[in-house]
Amino acid sequence: MYVIWWPDVMSEPDAKRAISFFGRLGPGLLLAATSIGASHLVMSPRAGWMFGFQLLWLVPLTHLFKYHAFEFGPRYAAATGESLIAGYARMPGPRGWALWILLLGTIAQGIGVLAAVVGIAAAVLSTFIGHAPFAGFYVSLVIGTVLLFLLFGGYGWLDFLNKVMMTLLFLATIAVFVPACPHPAEFRHFVIPSVPAGSVAVIAGILGWMPTGIDVSIWHSLWTLQKHPDLTSVETSGRRWEIFRFSLTDMRVGYILSFVVASVFLLLAGVYLYGTSDKIDGAGFARSLAKIYTDNIGHWMYFVFMVAAFTAMYSTVYAVMDGFSRAFAETISTIFPKIRARWRIKLYWIFVLFTAAFAFVILVALKGKNPVALALDVALLSLCIAPLYYGLNYYCVTRFIKDERFRPRTSARLVALAGIVVVLLATLVCVASKFSILE
């Protein structure tokens, strides 16, 4: 008989607390899942491929100035027991104007953004597995399996599956990065800004689209209420502070995860792709990224990367399909409160099926041509409305939260206001660059 010895590194109570903490996480990792998609797998490596480490400073900058836009989602939900959509309904001015803008933005983005992230996920899968038996096979596979998870599991499966995927992605990313870590001197680019020639479009894209679209903060408020349904109960007001603090901790865990992965992908591309002919563009972008590992670490790492890349995109598809549909149903139900009880769940599924069908049609019509370009074009729409969402979020947390303990401090407000300006400038620069007004 063999006895397996395991060092008593963590006591049983500590282990139980760690498991309990991981189990309570949820909306923050969904934020990370939505973030670690096109911006991390495309924009970060693209910046490293084109300019080496020179744009590394953008990763901490954008995560800093956009932090409060996302933090305001769980903050408002935990403090008030209602979503940001309910806050938008209380905006001064014409009745419901912010809700109608949100509704139009949700519909316009819902189809395009889903098509973009499904296209990238399908491209990764196609690169990994090979030729499909028929056109749209991988698109059908991605959309079909996500629909099944939503149908049979709802938020519970979304929460569980995303934790598994985020853990796998993080461990795989660190495993790849450690042996390929660049020289420590290169890390100075985290704090030393530089604007190389021809980088305006890439800079604007990263400032605007990393870590993700600001409308995800609205989904985050809805996910927080779904994770903690007792927030809407008056009886739980005594423990609201406890839920509030953990909701912010949960959000920060996901945000740090987003920052680490974005930094790693840019650094890896700067080490291995800068100055080479391998392009981060078109349907073969995943092959160029995978080549980093096969050429410099070993062929076995090809499988690690492809699994991690597909995991990132699949979880993004999952979160996007649920988030847009949840926001659509809640917005309609808030504009027309009389239909909430009967139609809210039906509206969710109507939008899920509607966006899934149109995404499939768009991608089959494009025949898999350059999903990266599609993602960048669609993201422009998200970017254009981002400053408004940031401003509305700021107004909600500073005006509609009654308890002073839950309101952001003065320093946080100043950073948030600076963030609104940065996002607005990024939007103007990106639009000007898109239409060749600014090169």
pLDDT of residue 380: 75
Give the mean pLDDT of the chain.
Answer: 81
Into which CATH architecture does domain 33-434 fall? Orthogonal Bundle (1.10)
Q: Where in the chain are the domains?
A: 33-434
Sign, CA dihedral 391-395-398-402, equals negative
pLDDT of residue 288: 75
Average pLDDT in the 119-140 region?
Answer: 81
DSSP label at residue 43: I
Taking CA atoms, 39 is separated from 34, 140, 227, in Å, by 10, 23, 26
Q: What is the pLDDT of residues 309-351, one digit of tens each?
A: 787 788 788 888 988 999 999 999 999 988 887 888 899 999 9
Residues ≥6 apart with Cβ < 8 Å to 346: none
Phi-psi region of 93 (alpha: psi -120 to 50; beta: other; left: phi over 0): left
pLDDT of residue 377: 74
Confidence check: pLDDT of 10 > 60: no
Cis amide bond preceding 337, omega within 30: no
Whole-prediction pTM: 0.84
pLDDT cut 90: percent of the chain above it: 29
Q: What is the pLDDT of residues 40-80, one digit of tens each?
A: 777 888 889 899 999 999 999 999 999 999 999 999 999 99
Taking CA atoms, 389 is separated from 101, 104, 212, 258, 386, in Å, by 10, 13, 13, 21, 5
